[in-house]
């Protein structure tokens, strides 16, 4: 009886050993390729992107433009939120990353103040750690707003943020949980404009469809939605004007490592110059409304603009 | 390691005990959410489990679907439901109920199945009706495994209920998300410690419950000579608490 | 639905990523749980402590664990290793108790017979206790496999690609078909792993085929050891005779 088991045990052992070997292979081979920016292939540029569909489209545009000019590109897309990927950018594991001027500046320097797009851009170039460089900023931007529904805006005659004073019902704010403590958050509304909000409801989708739905359902009255969101296309949402510069302008800007030479930089600057505010909204709409994949959207646009 | 020191500091900071984000309030919300989810899941799973356990019908369906249900990722379900019904607590309740049903269901019917068939035959022989058999024989004898299932469900719901804060201003998950997004790891770790403490407290509660609800006879009648077993396997009872604990890995 | 047909290759890629993350975690949790479970089984004093500690591991919410782990372990923040380690921890939490229960399910008579014919503790473990507790271990491993596959989706939140990436992307873009595809693919993958384990179990433990066919399926439903224990005891008696 037990002798029969001996063979089986050998089999079990073989399977276990095989699994361990396979595992070791995985561990050193880094299955998802995140560490594959090995120094051996110095000609390869690593392009990264946030875990955000719009950012992925821009990264894909950069990648395809570089490839069309003969560069080899390693795509490391959708690698999470800023706190996850920022260390890898600063340590040079990623060579090209589409960022947003104001958003990145606030992370790098929490005493930074808002201003014109150019002022924020130049502040960012100074705040970047050594070894990193910001190429030309695009006209396209994707910045925070205080947004209400059209019906709500009409009811209280709302145009800019200060006009929220007209509202007589309680205002519940919705957005990512960090919004609650950000310098432009509910506290700024009360300190700067005397607008007291009734509460904060977290919706962790970065101003996505669920936030829009919450606005429409009346679960929240005021939300933070990014300017390039295709949700504004419907005409049912109004982004309140921000004459006092509560929000930082956040233009699209490629953050690059020293490995990006003048030739590559020229390619990226050329692409970025064509990236207007309306373009970004249109690209996002293709992703959300037509449900196209990022690489297809990027190819189509680059061809249309004669960039590849 | 000073992350833990910071987290402990966060836990005792008086500033975290006032207002709408106070620790006691978040604890109460989290506990309330867990209890309500367990009640909803029990209302679905226990009658169904008793029915399956008593009749033996639908068991293969239950077994097969329980495996699939267990594999449903809560995050995916939550986002899907939230997209169709909006923000607030309803979407988390639905997603977490789906998480809690399989272990409770399994606890309910395996509890019945583990009963010695001769006991049930005896009950039938002395003239008990089917309803009486269920209420007076099968339910009390199946309790240890049912409570084990509930305990396992409670543990999972407490840990996963943090996701409610994805779409609602509710529970201990608020500390996790806020800490994550603002890179305030003390807050995030402090929140996690609270979740673990609550899980511990519930464990203790279930251990006590088992001690009180399991009929004395079940413990007294513990089989000592395993050679005299019936054709159907009987539950091998250790203490009631150990027996319940066996079910914890039914995630 | 059109999204799904247009993105089959994406779903397939994410499925492969998911396999690469979950398989090492499942294998590692089994290997690590064996000695710990044996310790818990062997000494009464260690049993309570070990089982309580591993039980608590399971109560740690996954999201903060994924974030804190790199800080503690010292891996890169977005290394897939973090996820593998975290999933392994959860797997061990489930599996240790199963191993302890599985070893406890081996009939005392059998163990004594093994000692009587001169097996050392080491050979007794490998040649008697481990094979005889096989069905219980298999049942536990099936639960570990299914829950690991399910949990791996949370990795998307920390930037490790998996089927969970379909949730976050679908959530941002409001594409419900993408989220549904992610859920269905996760469930299917879990069921495939489960079926493979059942098949492996039949290959490795042919003696269980006739009797344990039903018992083993029960266990996937929940009460891993409680359902399996009496049956495996029966079986061990049979073999001993």
Domain at B204, CATH number: 1.10.3720.10
The reply to whether C116 falls in a domain is yes
Q: Does C4 touch chain A (CB under 8 A)?
A: no
Q: Tell me, yes or no, whether B236 lies in a domain.
A: no
B184 within a domain of the structure (yes/no): yes
d(CA C73, CA C84): 12
Tally the domains of chain B: 1
- The stretches of A43-185 forming alpha helices (DSSP H) are 53-68, 82-90, 101-108, 117-127, 150-156
pLDDT band at residue B218 under the 50/70/90 scheme = low
The CA distance from B127 to B18, in Å, is: 62
With respect to residue C156, please indicate whether it lies within any of the assigned structural domains. yes
| C15 has a chain B CB within 8 A of its CB | no
Measured between beta carbons, the chain C residues lying within 8 angstroms of A5 are: 127, 131
Q: Which domain holds residue B45?
A: 17-222
* Helix ranges restricted to H, A69-199: 82-90, 101-108, 117-127, 150-156, 186-193
CB contact C150 to A (< 8 Å): no
Render pLDDT for A71-130 as a digit per residue (tens, 0 to 9): 999 999 888 777 778 888 888 889 999 999 999 998 888 888 888 999 999 999 999 998
- Say if CB C68 and CB B188 are below 8 A apart: yes
Angle CA C35–C39–C43, to nearest 5 = 165
In Å, how far is A75's CA from the nearest CA of chain C?
13
More confident of the two residues C89 and C220: C89
**Is there a domain that residue C95 lies in?**
yes
**What is the pTM for the complete model shown?**
0.81
Alpha carbon distance C230, C241 (integer Å) = 17
Q: How far apart are CA B30 and CA B193, in angstroms?
A: 13
Question: Which of B80, B84, B87 would you mutate first to test chain A, the one with the most A CBs within 10 A?
Answer: B87
Q: Is residue C44 part of a domain?
A: yes
Contact assessment for residue B101 and residue B69, using Cβ atoms and an 8 Å cutoff: yes
Contacts of A178 in chain B (CB under 8 A): 178, 181-182
- The answer to whether position B218 is within a domain reads yes
Containing structural domain, residue C31 = 2-215
Q: Provide, rounded to the nearest whole percent, the portion of chain A with pLDDT above 90.
A: 64
Whole-number Cα distances in Å, B102 to B37, B62, B67, B145, C185: 13, 9, 8, 13, 20
Name the percent of chain B lying above pLDDT 90: 49
Distance CA A47, CA A256 (A): 9
Give me the pLDDT at residue B237, please: 39
Instruction: Identify the closest residue of chain B to C105 by CA–CA distance.
Output: B236
The pLDDT score that the predictor gives to residue B204 is: 85
pLDDT at A292 over 50: yes
Residue C120 falls inside a structural domain: yes
Kindly report the CATH number assigned to the domain that includes residue C45.
Answer: 1.10.3720.10
Percent of chain B with pLDDT over 70: 85
User: Looking at the 3D structure of chain C, how many domains does it have?
Assistant: 1
Q: Which of B83, B86, B177 sits opposite A202 (nearest CB)?
A: B177
Over residues C46-54, mean pLDDT: 85
What is the distance, to the nearest Å, from the Cα of residue C14 to the centroid of all Cα atoms in its chain?
Answer: 21
CB A32 within 8 A of CB C161: yes
pLDDT digit string, tens, across residues B187-216: 988 998 999 899 889 988 988 887 777 766
- Here the ipTM equals 0.76
Instruction: Specify if B92 maps to a domain.
Output: yes
Query: What are the residues facing A200 on neighbouring strands?
Result: A173
Q: What confidence score (pLDDT) does residue B166 get?
A: 87
């Amino acid at each position: 009886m037990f002798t029969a088991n001996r063979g089986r045990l050998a089999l079990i052992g073989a399977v276990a050993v095989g699994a361990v070997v396979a595992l070791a292979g995985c561990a050193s081979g880094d299955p998802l390729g995140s560490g594959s920016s090995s120094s051996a292939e110095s000609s390869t540029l690593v392009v990264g992107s946030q875990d955000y569909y719009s950012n992925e489209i821009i990264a894909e545009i950069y990648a395809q433009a570089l490839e069309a000019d003969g560069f080899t590109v390693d795509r490391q897309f959708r690698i999470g939120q800023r706190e996850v990927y920022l260390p890898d950018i600063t340590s040079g594991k990623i060579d090209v990353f589409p960022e947003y001027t104001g958003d990145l500046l606030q992370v790098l320097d929490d005493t930074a103040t808002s201003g014109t797009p150019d002022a924020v851009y130049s502040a960012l170039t100074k705040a970047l750690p050594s070894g990193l460089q910001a190429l030309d900023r695009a006209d396209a931007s994707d910045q925070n707003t205080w947004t209400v529904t059209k019906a709500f805006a009409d009811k209280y005659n709302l145009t800019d943020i200060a006009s929220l004073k007209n509202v007589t019902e309680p205002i519940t704010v919705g957005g990512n949980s960090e919004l609650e403590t950000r310098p432009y958050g509910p506290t700024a509304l009360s300190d700067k404009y005397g607008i007291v909000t009734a509460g904060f409801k977290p919706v962790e989708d970065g101003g996505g469809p669920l936030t829009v739905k919450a606005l429409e359902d009346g679960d929240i009255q005021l939300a933070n939605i990014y300017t390039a969101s295709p949700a504004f296309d419907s005409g049912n949402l109004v982004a309140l004007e921000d004459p006092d510069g509560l929000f930082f302008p956040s233009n699209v800007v490629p953050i690059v490592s020293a490995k990006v030479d003048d030739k590559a930089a020229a390619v990226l600057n050329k692409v970025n110059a064509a990236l207007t505010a309306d373009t970004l909204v249109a690209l996002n709409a293709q992703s959300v409304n037509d449900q196209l994949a990022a690489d297809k959207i990027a190819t189509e646009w680059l061809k249309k603009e004669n960039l590849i | 390691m000073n992350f833990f020191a910071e987290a402990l500091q966060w836990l005792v900071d008086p500033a975290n005990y006032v207002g709408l984000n106070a620790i006691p309030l978040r604890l109460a919300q989290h506990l309330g959410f867990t209890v309500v989810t367990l009640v909803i899941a029990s209302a679905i799973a226990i009658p169904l489990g008793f029915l399956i356990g008593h009749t033996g019908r639908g068991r293969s369906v239950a077994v097969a679907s329980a495996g699939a249900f267990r594999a449903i990722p809560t995050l995916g379900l939550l986002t899907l439901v939230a997209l169709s019904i909006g923000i607030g607590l309803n979407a988390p309740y639905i997603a977490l109920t789906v998480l809690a049903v399989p272990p409770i269901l399994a606890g309910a019917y395996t509890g019945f199945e583990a009963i010695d068939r001769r006991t049930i035959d005896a009950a039938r022989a002395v003239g008990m009706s089917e309803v009486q058999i269920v209420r007076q024989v099968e339910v009390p004898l199946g309790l240890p495994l049912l409570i084990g299932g509930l305990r396992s469900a409670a543990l999972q719901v407490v840990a996963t209920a943090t996701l409610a804060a994805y779409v609602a201003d509710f529970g201990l998950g608020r500390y996790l998300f806020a800490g994550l997004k603002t890179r305030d790891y003390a807050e995030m770790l402090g929140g996690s410690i609270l979740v673990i403490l609550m899980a511990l407290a519930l464990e203790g509660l279930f251990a006590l419950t088992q001690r009180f609800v399991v009929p004395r006879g079940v413990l007294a009648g513990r089989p000592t000579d395993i050679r005299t077993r019936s054709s159907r396997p009987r539950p091998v009872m250790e203490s009631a608490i150990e027996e319940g604990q066996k079910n914890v890995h039914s995630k | 639905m059109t999204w799904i047909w247009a993105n089959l290759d994406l779903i397939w890629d994410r499925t492969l990523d998911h396999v690469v993350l979950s398989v090492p975690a499942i294998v590692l949790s089994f290997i690590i749980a064996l000695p710990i479970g044996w310790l818990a089984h062997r000494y009464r004093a260690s049993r309570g402590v070990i089982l309580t500690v591993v039980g608590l591991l399971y109560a740690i919410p996954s999201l903060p664990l994924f974030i804190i782990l790199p800080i503690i372990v010292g891996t890169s923040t977005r290394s897939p290793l973090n996820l593998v380690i975290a999933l392994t921890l959860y797997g061990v939490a489930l599996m240790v108790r199963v191993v302890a229960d599985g070893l406890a399910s081996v009939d005392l008579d059998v163990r004594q017979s093994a000692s009587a014919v001169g097996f050392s503790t080491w050979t007794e473990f490998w040649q008697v206790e481990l094979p005889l507790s096989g069905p219980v271990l298999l049942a536990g491993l099936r639960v570990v496999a299914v829950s690991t596959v399910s949990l791996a989706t949370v990795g998307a939140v920390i930037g490790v690609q998996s089927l969970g990436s379909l949730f976050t992307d679908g959530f941002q873009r409001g594409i419900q078909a993408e989220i549904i595809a992610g859920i269905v693919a996760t469930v299917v993958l879990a069921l495939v792993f489960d079926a493979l384990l059942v098949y492996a179990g039949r290959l490795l433990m042919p003696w269980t085929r006739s009797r344990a066919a039903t018992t083993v399926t029960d266990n996937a439903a929940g009460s891993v050891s409680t359902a399996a224990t009496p049956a495996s005891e029966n079986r061990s008696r049979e073999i001993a005779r």
